[in-house]
Structure 1
Amino acid sequence: MSLIRKPRAVLLTGVAALLTATLVPAGGAAAAGVTVAKPAPAGNVKDACGPVKPGDARCFAEIRTDVHGGTGVRGKAAARITGHAAPLPSGLGPADLHSAYNLPTTGGANQTVAVVDAGDSANAEADLAVYRSTYGLPACTTANGCFHKVNQRGTATAPPSDQGWGVEAALDVDMVSAACPQCKILLVEADTQAASDLAASVDTAVRLGANEVSNSYGIQESGDTATYAKDYQHPGVAILASSGDSGYTIPSEPAVYTSVVAVGGTSLAKASNTRGWSESAWSQAGSGCSAWIDKPAWQTDPNCPGRMVADVSADADPNTGPAVYDTLDGVPGWIIVGGTSASSPFLAGVVALAGHPEHFADASRLYGPSAAAGLNDVTTGSNAMPWNDCGGDYQCTAGVGYDGPTGNGTPNGLTAF
């Protein structure tokens, strides 16, 4: 990986140059350090994590505010515990996601999927137990060796305080569970949401034996982007990161690193077609053309001279999102959460199901000819914003083959992984 220390306006060509005209002044936002405002969430959605100071990362979880399913175990498990059946929570469950993405119900027993979050999620293990019991997944606890929670140094002492990432942490462990019920889960809690602490947590996750590491957060790329690149480069371990929730814009790190699988987002809905599901690009899924990271040889899209985000995708729209159980932040209990914060840990679980993290020193495997049959090509939808439109170019518009919002598509079984 190398830096492209050129103004953004020089980097973008053709249709892609509209980004400069509509988004940034001459010289480029990445070069000038301009912060691009995030569009306001829809009226029924709010950000799980608030604004951050420079040098800090923001988690990308998005919470539905119009749905709340109460507390405690639901479904058939509730009947076994209380004698009274209770409907499953609103939102997609593991069976829905396995159906949508043609995934096996077994696999990954020898894999450890790590998720990196900021601050202590004190209720993480107890909340995870409610989620897994509700959906009939095997118990994943500290006692049985499935669940392990550590700080960024790898010890059991909790970070100094909650950083407001409770919903994010719950989403992460629930989505790994949904994709890969037999996987072990390692929750690494950074002291703060500073880039340095999160990067150190990734190194700790790998040192402790993680096979896959999911990072559902980001910082807008800049001239300092290369600082922590090495912390997200671990051959033999698959490192994944969310592409963001600001639509077509300046890419964020760590997703923009060439050693990272950048995970975009879709809107997923049941349908009366052969697949049983339909998918389109989620309107806020992050995509963008890097002004600071060279284009890897395996990425050949024509209108972005730098690294293009994203590589692959899965459901991220909070309006079609999964059910999550959290009792730490916000309204406690069953909620629906989305954002590419959902798609990254889910895809980490998919990689674990396939059992070959060594294939993902980078995302090149997803660009090979053999991968196409194992991916659903998402061909409709756009993440263009009124103030930032790519003019119908693939960088912000889904179409046949590669596009920015959804990458090369979504899982269709495990052959691509």
Structure 2
Amino acid sequence: MSDIRNVPATGADSGRRSRRPWAAAAVAGALVALLSGASAVTANSAGGGPAADGQSPAVRACDVPRPGEAACLAEVLPGSAPGSRTQAPAGYGPADLRSAYGLTAAVRAGAGKGRTVAIVDAFDAPTVEADLAVYRSTYGLPPCTTDNGCFRKVNQRGDTAPLPQPDAGWGVEISLDVQAVSALCPSCDILLVESDNANWDSLADGVDTAVRLGATTVSNSYGGPESDVTDNRSHGTGPDPVRAASYNHPGVPIVAAAGDAGFQLDALYPATLSTVTAVGGTTLKKSDTARGWSETAWATNYKGGAAGAGCSAHVAKPAWQHDRDCPNRTLTDISAVADPVTGLAVYDSIRDPNGPPAGWMKVGGTSASAPLVAAMYALAGHTEDVRDASRLYAHRDRLNDISGGSVSVPHSGQECPASSYLCTALRGYDGPTGLGTPDGLGAFAPVH
């Protein structure tokens, strides 16, 4: 296994921050569970369980970003990572996710073959292809390798070398993204574009490169406060965020995570762009319903983690969005599982002294829901006329309407009343889950 210790880089990326306080967070989560009388989450309870009266002690995979940088949105559940190279945790695998979203038949029919899901992330994950091989073999998926043409990894310029500096936190993010796509679209090709760093221009270059190299759809599991981007725009005039054009590629759906910090007055970019499909998050559990699954919004936990929601201060409301309380673009459009407690099984072999043990772990965040939705776009195909999320709004009756769960963060200074659809999952459209979650591929069909 690789051992990445974040040796300081040279040039523009020198002085990387110290790693996340993983061990401290894991202990804190266990103490909260103990004091509340609840059992700590382990890797042995299928689909996860409440760690503190329903509250997740998940910690972010990546460092807190510096000004001008995006944050990766993967969250790892302490206690879910046994460090095992052979035994997967109880996080959801491909069969679970396909069942939950009505995709089993489409996958069995080979949907997605010949289409490419691109993933744009920062820094390099040197073990990503080997880790993907472990994941796919564990779940009986066909190999996806450089040699067979299924997997390709390039830098932000589209070249196979040189690759960026490795980063263990973003490595977890990358593993989550490529494995989530594999879970729902094993017949899809995967293009991983690694930007030089987490700066906005570098990530935007990565999106443009992904489209230039033939991506069917592009997934972006990162974000930052809209004001940080607009206030620091390097070029352009007016209220448009820097490099907004890089997220506008008609015929190629651009998907972005809506965030993991609940309702925010300063909404998350690039999900706020009207050319992007903004993906929120749910808590997904097995049930005895006809569907076999139940979902609520990924609600605020004691650390403030929750599905992102908000109202743009800069991007005008698109013609296809009609909610009443936000005069501009509203987050989100659609959602899928994101709660780390009910997260995905992910394999990552990078040994990070201040991160999760190498091996299998349970990972969530809207970093999980975004690549899942990107994979669904590829499964459905016929993306030539996709310019934005309007297709989903035209087919809202083909989605699971989600109710229950507030993402207002107490004592944050930006609380939102539980009665408001902007921060609570209510019947119909709402901020945390948008129009709802996929029920098969009907919502991704062309509009006639």
TM exceeding 0.5 = yes
Q: Deviations over 1:231-267 (max 9, x none)?
A: 0000110100000001000211111111000000000
1:282 counterpart residue number: 298
Q: Deviations over 1:106-165 (max 9, x none)?
A: 300021000011111100000000000000111100000000000000001143412330
2:286 counterpart residue number: 270
CA drift of 1:287 comes to 0.5
1:375 counterpart residue number: 399
1:109 aligns with one of 101, 113, 138: 113
* CA RMSD after TM alignment: 1.4
Contact 2:80 2:89 in 1 (8 A): no
1:7 counterpart residue number: none
SS of 1:226's partner is coil
Instruction: Map residues 18-417 of structure 1 onto 2, 5 A cutoff.
Output: 44-74=57-87, 88-103=88-103, 104-105=106-107, 106-163=110-167, 164-222=169-227, 223=230, 224=233, 226-249=241-264, 250-283=266-299, 284-328=306-350, 329=352, 330=355, 331-368=357-394, 371-387=395-411, 388-391=414-417, 392-417=419-444
1:247 and 1:359 mapped to 2: Cα distance? 32
Contact 1:261 1:360 in 2 (8 A): no
Query: CA separation of 1:43/1:404 partners in 2, compared to 1, >3 Å: closer, same or farther?
Result: closer
SS of 1:357's partner is coil
Q: Which amino acid aligns with 2:292?
A: G
Q: Which amino acid aligns with 2:146?
A: T
CA drift of 1:366 comes to 1.0
Q: Which amino acid aligns with 1:416?
A: A
2:278 and 2:213 mapped to 1: Cα distance? 23
CA drift of 1:44 comes to 2.8
Contact 1:248 1:389 in 2 (8 A): yes
Q: Deviations over 1:337-357 (max 9, x none)?
A: 000000000110011100122
Q: TM-score, normalised by structure 2?
A: 0.79
Contact 1:116 1:189 in 2 (8 A): yes
Deviates more, 1:111-120 or 1:381-390: 381-390
1:184 and 1:301 mapped to 2: Cα distance? 36
1:303 and 1:181 mapped to 2: Cα distance? 40
SS of 1:361's partner is coil
Contact 1:282 1:383 in 2 (8 A): yes
SS of 1:360's partner is coil
SS of 1:142's partner is coil
Contact 2:56 2:341 in 1 (8 A): no
Contact 1:129 1:139 in 2 (8 A): yes
CA drift of 1:69 comes to 4.1
CA drift of 1:202 comes to 0.3
SS of 1:248's partner is strand
1:412 and 1:196 mapped to 2: Cα distance? 35
Contact 1:44 1:66 in 2 (8 A): no
SS of 2:322's partner is coil
1:145 and 1:379 mapped to 2: Cα distance? 42
CA drift of 1:362 comes to 0.3
2:57 and 2:398 mapped to 1: Cα distance? 34
SS of 2:205's partner is helix
CA drift of 1:389 comes to 2.5
Q: Which amino acid aligns with 1:48?
A: A
Contact 1:69 1:90 in 2 (8 A): no
1:10 counterpart residue number: none
SS of 1:389's partner is coil
Contact 1:116 1:213 in 2 (8 A): yes
Name structure 1 gaps, 5 residues minimum: 1-41, 75-87
CA drift of 1:50 comes to 1.5
1:230 and 1:181 mapped to 2: Cα distance? 30
Q: Which amino acid aligns with 1:376?
A: N
CA drift of 1:361 comes to 1.1
Query: CA separation of 1:374/1:43 partners in 2, compared to 1, >3 Å: closer, same or farther?
Result: closer
Name structure 2 gaps, 5 residues minimum: 1-54, 234-239, 300-305
Query: CA separation of 1:359/1:267 partners in 2, compared to 1, >3 Å: closer, same or farther?
Result: farther
CA drift of 1:359 comes to 4.1
Q: Which amino acid aligns with 1:66?
A: G
What is the identity percentage for the equivalent residue pairs of Structure 1 and Structure 2? 55
Q: Which amino acid aligns with 1:167?
A: V
Query: CA separation of 1:399/1:342 partners in 2, compared to 1, >3 Å: closer, same or farther?
Result: same
1:51 and 1:44 mapped to 2: Cα distance? 17
Q: Which amino acid aligns with 2:173?
A: E
1:383 and 1:141 mapped to 2: Cα distance? 39
Contact 1:147 1:186 in 2 (8 A): yes
